[in-house]
Structure 1
Amino acid sequence: GEEVPLALNFKAGESIETCGEQAAEEAPTYPEFERVMSEVRPLGQLRDSFIIATDLSGLIVIDQHVAHERVLFEAYLRQKLAGKLDIQRLLMPIVVQLPPRQLVILDSIIPELAQNGFEVEPFGPKTIAIKTAPAVLKAAAVEKLLVELLDGLERETQVMNIDALKKKIAATVSCHAAIKINTPLDETKMRWLLGELMKTDVPTVCPHGRPIILRYDLREILKAFKRA
C-alpha cells in the first residue's frame, strides 16, 4: 500500500518563519501613517481592483483584496480570542476526498480547526465531511479553503508551532472571505475600507506578506514631469 508519512507536529515554543507572517511583523510603514490616511480622498478604481486615492502628499494605490484581507484577519483573531467567532452550520455537509498524507495532517490540526469553527468528521476511508465553518465564509469557498490549507501544510519543511498554525488558518479564512479583484466599489465602500485599514496594526502588508499600498509622493510626480 501507499506509505503514509508521519503527522506534522505542532509544538508550543518552537517557531518557523512562514511566508508573510515574518514579513508582516517587519513591514515598513511610511511616516505619520494615520495622519496621512485620514486625509485620503478616493478618486475611483483601476480595473475594479485597485483603489486610486490622493492625499496632501501625493497619489496612493491600494489593492482592495489584500486591504480587506488585512482588515478581516485582525478582526478574526480578535473575535476568536474573545470567544465570539460566528459559526454557520452548512445546509448540507461538504464531502471532500483527500490523499492519505493530507488525512494524516488533517488529523493533527482538527482541534485547532474546531477552535476556528470547522466541524470536520471522517466520512469513509478517504473522505471527510465538513459540517460547520466560520460565518464569514461563503459555503462555496469552504472546500477550496480547506484543501488550500492542507496543501500549504503539506509543503512545510519545518515543524510549525501552534501560534503559526493559528495565524495560517486565520490568514487563509480571511483571504477567501475578502472582496475580490474585479469587484466594483462605490465611494462609500472605498472610504469604509480605507478607514478600517487605517485601524489595523499592520496596514501596509497583508497576512501573506504582499504589499497593500503603493505611494507616489508629489515630489516624484513633479520630477517625472520635469516640473521639480
Structure 2
Amino acid sequence: RRRMEEQGVPSQKLLITQTFELPPRDADWIEQNISILQKMGIGIESFGPNTFKIDSLPGFLNVTDGAQFMRKVIDDLKSASDRSSPLRLGEEMIAKSVCRHAVKANDPLRYLEVEKLIQDLLECDLPYCCPHGRPTMIQISNVELEKKFGRKV
C-alpha cells in the first residue's frame, strides 16, 4: 500500500502496444480513473473515442492478452467502486491479479524459480499470508513430522 501511494506499482513495457475499444460507459469510467490505473502500473491512455492503448502492465503479472486483462480489471474495479476508495480499488485489483496469475498447486517449477519465489516472499512486509489472508507458510513441529512419517527426526 505504501509503495503504491508513494511510487506507484512497477510496470513492464509491452513489446507491442495494444489497443482496445470499450462501450461508452466503460470508456467514461476509465477516463475518470486513468490516474488510478497508471498508479497501479498500467500504462494506459486515450487513443480516440472509446479507444485506449496500453503500453505497460504491472511487472509481476504474466499477461498474454493485455486488452482482455484490461476488460477484466475494469469489470472488477467497477463492481468494487461503489464501496471502496480509489486506493482500496487499486489494492483489490492487484490482489485479484496476483492470485489469478500466481503459481498454483501442481505447477512445475525449476529449483531456481522456487528459490526466487521464497526469497521474494521473505522480502514482503507481510510474508505469512496472501493478499486475501490465506497462509503462505505453516509451521510443522518435529513431533508432527514424526507422527506423519512414523520415524524419529
The reply to whether TM is greater than 0.5 is yes
Determine the C-alpha separation between the residues in 1 that align with 2:28 and 2:133.
28
Q: 1:141 to 1:223 in 2, by over 3 A?
A: same
- The one-letter amino acid of 1:108's match is Q
Of 183, 197, 220, the residue aligned with 2:108 is 183
Q: 1:179 to 1:142 in 2, by over 3 A?
A: farther
Q: How does 1:1-228 map to 2 (within 5 A)?
A: 78=3, 81-82=6-7, 85-88=10-13, 90-91=15-16, 93-115=17-39, 116-124=41-49, 127-134=50-57, 136=59, 137=61, 140-156=64-80, 158-172=82-96, 174-175=98-99, 182-186=107-111, 188-224=112-148
- Could you tell me whether the CA contact under 8 Å between 1:90 and 1:131 is conserved in 2? no
- Could you tell me whether the CA contact under 8 Å between 1:90 and 1:139 is conserved in 2? no
Q: 1:169 to 1:130 in 2, by over 3 A?
A: farther
Q: Aligned residue pairs: how many? A: 149
Determine the C-alpha separation between the residues in 2 that align with 1:152 and 1:102.
12
Can you give the 5+ residue segments of structure 2 that lack an aligned partner in the other structure? Answer: none
**What is the RMSD of the two structures over their aligned residues, measured on CA atoms?**
3.6
Find the structure with the greater CA-based Rg. 1
Provide runs of 4+ in structure 1 moved above 6 Å.
none
- Could you tell me whether the CA contact under 8 Å between 1:94 and 1:130 is conserved in 2? yes
Deviations 1:97-139 (A, max 9, x none): 4345433432331121233342231544xx4222321362556
Can you give the 5+ residue segments of structure 1 that lack an aligned partner in the other structure? Answer: 1-73
- Could you tell me whether the CA contact under 8 Å between 1:141 and 1:176 is conserved in 2? no
Higher helix proportion (structure 1 or 2): 2
* TM-score computed with the length of structure 1 as normaliser: 0.50
Deviations 1:41-60 (A, max 9, x none): xxxxxxxxxxxxxxxxxxxx
- Could you tell me whether the CA contact under 8 Å between 1:87 and 1:133 is conserved in 2? yes
- The one-letter amino acid of 2:3's match is R
Instruction: Report SS of the residue matched to 2:64.
Output: helix
Determine the C-alpha separation between the residues in 1 that align with 2:72 and 2:148.
43
Q: CA deviation at 1:202?
A: 0.9
Determine the C-alpha separation between the residues in 2 that align with 1:110 and 1:155.
16
Determine the C-alpha separation between the residues in 1 that align with 2:104 and 2:43.
23
Determine the C-alpha separation between the residues in 1 that align with 2:101 and 2:151.
44
